[in-house]
Amino acid sequence: MSEIILKAEHLKKYYEERQGLFSRKKRINAALDDVSLEIRKGSIMGLAGESGSGKSTAGKTMLNLIKPSGGRVTFEGRQIFDADKGEYLDSGSMTALRQKMQIIFQDPSSSLNPKKNVEQIISAGIIKHRLCSGSQVRERCIEIMEKCGLDKRQMMRYPHEFSGGQKQRIGIARALAVEPSFIVCDEPTAALDMSIQSQILNLMLDLKEQYGLTYLFISHNLGVVEYFCDELAVMYRGKIVEQGKTADLFSSPVHPYTQLLLSSVPVSHPDEPRRHTESKPQDESIPKHGCRFAPRCPYREKRCTEQEPLLLPCGAGHTAACFHAVK
Ligand SMILES: Nc1ncnc2c1ncn2[C@@H]1O[C@H](COP(=O)(O)OP(=O)(O)OP(=O)(O)O)[C@@H](O)[C@H]1O
Ligand SMILES: [Mg+2]
């Protein structure tokens, strides 16, 4: 079994928000509520779930880009933070470690500085982390651009002069330029059309093989997740409800929410039956007790509204948090 590159334990991120537009009362939104995840070196771990389930919050908290409310993250055997003990890496060590941990964002347009040309965007990290001597920076930049399918003659151009797919290639080149070992890919192809999506995904797979990268791949497109990820964690309202090998989750999903998500994957022919029945839309509030999926769950039992189910083994390397599914 390969080594663990990133380990997140009991991660929590709570946001305070007003109860109404004119209300002074505040409530806590548990965007991330006790999430633990181990990512194997060289693998692609998928993180799926509907909008607002906490996927981006999980990715950014793991990279220490947003302050955690609780929990611990270890990267390549080194503790980045233990928020419960108030231990954080000092900013110098964190900056140095950032070289190894990168992120590619969903929307390439807003994640690239419009005032910088491509060379400046890609070379900023190389210069910051002093990865080569001054005279070699341009050469390194060209090398990365070519690897990412960009034309070196376009290095003086600005982001607005590129298509969506090209901008995402620039985003990937920027992440790759600093020689990372782990990249959080936050819906990297969601803003692109289908044909460009597959080009970018194939590029990311090629780069992963060439550079021995590890990805945390965030997506609500399950078709893409099935094709791309070795393992999958399904999130529902701040919690992981099922986790396992992607093939196992797709062939035998255990949690009713995973089943629901899979039922929304488009079928290839209109006569082909959907895999599962759909449930009513999401209720706004998270129940105070019990399973947070209970209000939508067709298999709800009495204890589902009283007790919170734990993530328990339901097969080899497969876990689910459901009283009905895991006896
Ligand atoms: N800066 C913030 N301030 C307050 N609440 C936030 C903030 N960022 C996220 N949230 C809340 O945290 C929850 C999880 O958000 P997050 O962006 O992680 O979801 P997501 O699964 O990535 O959704 P999407 O698929 O739409 O990108 C949501 O309820 C969101 O409103
Ligand atoms: Mg998101």
**214-218/44-48 β-pairing:** parallel
Mean pLDDT on 253-257? 95
Q: For atom 18 of ligand 1, which residue has the closest CA? A: 54
> In terms of pLDDT, which residue wins out, 260 or 25?
260
Q: Are 182 and 5 in contact (CB under 8 A)?
A: yes
Alpha-carbon gap, residue 299 to 322, rounded angstroms = 10
pLDDT at 3: 93
Arithmetic mean of pLDDT, 255-268: 81
The average pLDDT across 270-290 equals 58
* Residue nearest (by alpha carbon) to ligand 1 atom 14: 54
Does the Cβ of 15 fall within 6 Å of ligand 1? Answer: yes
pLDDT of the residue at 98: 92
Strand pairing category for 4-18 and 26-40: antiparallel
Residue 5 vs residue 284, higher pLDDT: 5
Residue 271's pLDDT is what? Answer: 59
For residue range 203-242, what is the model confidence (pLDDT) as tens digits?
999 999 999 999 999 998 888 899 999 999 999 999 999 9
Residue 209: its pLDDT value, please?
94
Q: Whose CA is nearest to atom 24 of ligand 1?
A: 51
Residues 8, 36: Cα–Cα separation, whole Å: 5
| Ligand 1 nearest-atom number relative to CA 54 | 18
Indicate whether residue 31 lines ligand 1 (CB < 6 A): yes
Neighbours of ion ligand 2 (CB under 5 A): 56
SS3 232: strand
Mean pLDDT of 269-281: 50
pTM: 0.91
Torsion of CA 148, 198, 205, 267, to 10 degrees: 170
User: Quick check: 147 pLDDT over 80?
Assistant: yes
pLDDT exceeds cutoff 90 at 137 = yes
Residue 117 CA to residue 11 CA, distance in Å, equals 37
pLDDT value at residue 221: 86
pLDDT bucket at 278, cuts 50 / 70 / 90: very low
The whole-number pLDDT of residue 277 equals 42
Q: Rounded CA gap, 168 and 110, in Å?
A: 11
Question: Which residues make beta-bridge pairs with 48?
Answer: 234
Average pLDDT of the residues in 66-83:
96
CB atoms under 10 Å from CB of 51, counted, come to 8
* d(CA 49, ligand 2 centre) in Å: 10
**Torsion of Cα atoms, 207 then 209 then 214 then 220, to 10°:** 70
pLDDT confidence of residue 265: 64
Ligand 1 centroid – CA 52 distance (Å): 5
Percent of the chain clearing pLDDT 70 (strictly above): 93
